[in-house]
């Protein structure tokens, strides 16, 4: 067995696998409601996103929902691009290291669920039903 301290940090592709597994573990009705939602992984949010959110330190943003929540759409809604959930690898890794008490897969799943919650227009109680981070 390889020494975990000698392994490289998980790559963007590794994070895509973690995100895909986390998505597959969601209840079927949640996955169905997310049809057409793109899940993207990047190292950091780009400067324009950080500027729009008034965030100076790119390590402060672990994930982002880009779109209009299903609960806020009207019949006139004409999307110009797919709604997307963005997961930011380096800030998630930083939080994982700082916490030291949670698996990386669980942290990625938590960020993913939180961003999907914005897409679905969920309340905090709705989120806890799928991902009770307080446990």
Between CA 44 and CA 46 the distance in angstroms is: 6
Number of alpha carbons in the 13 Å side-chain half-sphere of residue 79: 13
Q: Report whether 86 contacts 42 (CB < 8 A).
A: yes
pLDDT of 75 reads 66
CATH code: domain 10-71+80-130 is: 3.30.2010.20
pLDDT of 134 reads 54
DSSP string, 78-120: --SS--EEEEEHHHHHHHHHHH-SS-HHHHHHHHHHHHHHHHH
> 52-108: per-residue pLDDT in tens?
999 999 999 999 999 888 787 766 666 667 899 999 999 999 999 999 899 999 999
- pLDDT over 90 (residue 127): no
Dihedrals phi, psi of 86, to nearest 5 degrees: -110, 130
Q: What is the mean pLDDT of residues 15-29?
A: 95
Q: In this prediction, what percent of the chain has a pLDDT beyond 70?
A: 88
Domain ranges of the chain: 10-71+80-130
């Amino acid at each position: 067995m390889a020494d975990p301290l000698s392994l490289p940090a998980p790559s963007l592709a590794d994070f895509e696998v973690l995100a895909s597994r986390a998505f597959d573990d969601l209840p079927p009705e949640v996955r169905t409601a997310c049809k057409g939602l793109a899940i993207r992984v990047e190292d950091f949010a780009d400067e324009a996103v950080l500027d729009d959110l008034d965030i100076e330190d790119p390590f402060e943003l672990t994930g982002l929902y880009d779109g209009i929540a299903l609960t806020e759409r009207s019949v006139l809604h004409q999307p110009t691009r797919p709604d997307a959930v963005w997961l930011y690898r380096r800030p998630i890794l930083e939080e994982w290291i700082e916490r030291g008490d949670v698996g990386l897969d669980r942290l990625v799943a938590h960020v993913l669920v939180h961003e999907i919650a914005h897409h679905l227009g969920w309340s905090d109680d709705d989120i806890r039903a799928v991902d009770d981070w307080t446990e």
